[in-house]
Amino acid sequence: MSNGRLWVVATPIGNLEDLSPRARETLRAVGLIAAEDTRHSAPLLAQAGAQARALALHEHNEHEQAARIVEHLRGGGDVALISDAGTPLVSDPGYRLVRAARAAGCEVSPVPGPCAAIAALSVAGLASDRFVFEGFLPAKSSARRERLQSLVAETRTLIFYESSHRILESLADLRTVFGDAREAVLARELTKLFETILAAPLGELAARVEADANQQRGEFVVLVAGASGEDAEAELAEGRRVFALLREELPPARAAKLAAAITGAPRKRLYEG
């Protein structure tokens, strides 16, 4: 008997009409559905007419559940993997299962569809030829600022996920680290009733959201324009200045590490010039 196939199925990020016909067909055809939260997905599965047994696969049980699912695949049954919304594995569980299925010799196929990051990028109007998906920022402010600092010289468009709990704090930190003038876009509640897309420099964007409680509700994708060549050059110059100062007191590697952390300039380039 040949192995079953693991189908990685994207589901809507808000509007149920965005479930593709192929996704619906796949959910109806498989014998087992691995869902991040079976209760959350129950209405979608009912609407799709899926009858299969649903099994919970989340961050905390992925290892054990992957073994069970692989057993099902090896018995010849197909499995669909879905998450609460959008594309599984994108800031969602599933990569361990995909690896385990492939390691067991099973085919893994995507049924592509909605993804909040890509939907937001498609309407942001920021450079989209090269971009970096950063997912969720750390919850603690110090760690968040450190992460942002490491991205300050990044020239590709940056994409972050954020929840209503932290949107204000994150926008404030983005503003502090990247500066008021950096172009940004806030994509809120995409495909839903209160969908809003705000495009403005970070200082203005943060102020607008702060002033309007409605703009703090729901789910968010935050996009920030990459550093321009001028920003990057200014940062490098600042990095080299700080490096030279620290170098008087510290070994070169330590001085470079600190200068890079303080200014956001790429560490390797501090030694040049």
Closest among 105, 107, 131, 218 to 166, alpha carbons compared = 218
Residue closest to ligand SAM, measured at CB:
86
**AA letter at 139:** A
Which C-beta is closer to ligand SAM: that of 51 or that of 214? Answer: 214
Distance CA 192, CA 114 (A): 13
Work out whether 169 is an interface residue with ligand SAM (CB under 6 A).
no
Within 8 A by CB and 6+ apart from 14, the residues are 85, 189, 190, 191, 192, 195
Q: Structure tokens of 118?
A: 């890509």
Binding flag, residue 117, ligand SAM (CB under 6 A): yes
Of 167 and 260, the one with the shorter C-beta distance to ligand SAM is: 167
Determine the size of the site formed for ligand SAM (CB under 6 A).
Answer: 24
- How many whole angstroms separate alpha carbon 165 and alpha carbon 169? 9
User: Is residue 192 close enough to count as binding ligand SAM by CB under 6 A?
Assistant: yes
Residues 6+ apart with CB under 8 A from 72: 4, 31, 32, 79
Of residues 141-160, which lie at the interface with ligand SAM (CB under 6 A)? none
Can you tell me the distance from the alpha carbon of 101 to that of 65, in angstroms, rounded to the nearest whole number? 12
Is 162 among the residues that bind ligand SAM (CB under 6 A)?
yes
Contact 11, 113 (CB under 8 A): yes
Q: Which stretch binds ligand SAM (CB under 6 A): 48-56, 68-76, 218-226, 251-259?
A: 218-226
238: number of CA atoms within 13 Å, CB side?
A: 15
Judged by CB, which is closer to ligand SAM: 13, or 48?
13
Question: Is residue 164 a contact point for ligand SAM (CB under 6 A)?
Answer: no
Q: Which residue, 199 or 234, has its beta carbon nearer to ligand SAM?
A: 199
Q: Judged by CB under 6 A, does residue 161 bind ligand SAM? A: yes
Answer for the pair 61, 109: CB distance below 8 angstroms, yes or no. Answer: no
Q: Residues 49-88 vs ligand SAM: string with x where CB under 6 A?
A: ----------------------------------x-xxx-
The binding site for ligand SAM (CB under 6 A) comprises 13-14, 83, 85-87, 90-92, 115-117, 161-163, 187-192, 219-221
